[in-house]
Amino acid sequence: MIKIDYSKQGEKRIIIRGKSDCFHANMEDIMYITCEEYMCTIYLVDGEKFSTTHSLKCFEEIIKEDDFFKVSRNTLINTEYATVTRMTRKERCVNVKGIKIKVSRSRFPHLKKMLYGCSSQ
């Protein structure tokens, strides 16, 4: 089960309950979320990471109103930590706190517009 906790004023926290453990994190501390096969991994600013069997779609629905953007079919990034670093004909990347993440060709113009307010490729 995933839910958002609004109990602390000014902070949104994500709570993920598994069978044997529970994970709490401030939404603003999540850098990005990746999904490989049936496991999603949440990467935090402090270097900590947490894996869960919840789908990426589940995370998308929960955090849709926040500063997250789906850069490819298996990755959501927090745009607060993102800068576009590379754009060639074959490769489009975004830098999230020093980590290079590939962006799909179809989503790149939307991401660039979201980050910089420009619409050109």
Q: Where are the domains of the chain?
A: 2-116
CA separation for the pair 90, 110 (Å, rounded): 17
Give CATH for domain 2-116.
Answer: 2.40.50.1020
Position 35, amino acid: C
pLDDT of residue 83: 84
- Please tell me the pTM assigned to this model: 0.82
Q: Tens of pLDDT along the chain (121 residues)?
A: 565 555 554 678 888 876 678 888 888 899 999 999 888 999 999 999 888 888 888 888 888 766 889 999 999 999 899 887 767 777 888 889 889 999 998 888 888 888 877 555 4
> What value, to the nearest 5°, has the Cα angle with vertex 13 and ends 5 and 61?
80
